[in-house]
Structure 1
């Protein structure tokens, strides 16, 4: 039951505008370390995004850029199982930030607690992070990057306990999902099991239903 939970917040609708990052390390189902950073996105802040997460331009003055932060973050992700709630959003933020720096992707597998929750908790009216957290009695300061990552970690543990699967990849497979992957040549999405070709790094990604307001679906 070892994995890393991750959450990004963005300054505007661009996926390359990461302004906050939370990481939570889980060993044997227990949180062993937490990390939180504000990031200077070197981009404008939109009022909509500020209203969601409360991060303002003045708060990121003097904070590291993603390029400066990456050497610290990359070793925490490489070779790990990574989980996010609405991973389509968080993984795209990571990819766009790396694409903007022409840096190769790290290698890891990832899971999405949003999609797992939809499959495993069909009785819920919504599977946003706050709704699933409330269902499991998980305290949450929504749209705080560290708190969101902490909640995603707790949700995955609860889902594993529910199904008595204590390996995140086995849980994913039991629900008919193939883990997403990132690797130096590109990525594959977390999705229902089917054979799909890997997508190449640096390709333009069309907006999905999780697009400019993707943070709202967490």
Structure 2
């Protein structure tokens, strides 16, 4: 399945950023574009598939085609299919979690750790390491005064549960512990969650299910 030519949807316009998304590839991945309204700087989250569609998305945010960085949330193949081509076409820097960086099919210019800050023009995105779906999975948190926070979670948090941990109890516990502590424990209920597949949600919508997720073990 390809989404080239499909409409680009502006998901949110905050006081400091424009947030866009594009569904791409046979696994219906969601790639996200963040545009700094003050400077036109741009960051793409997960160059998953369909390079022409993603470059169209970049131009929708900034007609010059400026792309400053690509953050890969984790190493899985469906999240990196267009990475090398997008980097080559745009000249953007490549960023990924340190433990996953060596497994990507393209260069990584910066290896991310928990607590790092990624600057995109005037925007500041905070890196959250979420261990379990993969060893180096990362989420990005955007907080701006007067707006609800936004978090891009890759495949670590979805509506209805955390990401796949292959039936490994230790990995599941690690991931749920990190999600509870580092997302639900630090961010308010109005935080908008942008997952790597499917529709957005909020932490408030998901918070009542945390105990049930732990009980069922996935």
TM-score by structure 2 length?
0.30
Q: Which has the higher helix share?
A: 1
Q: Which has the higher strand share?
A: 2
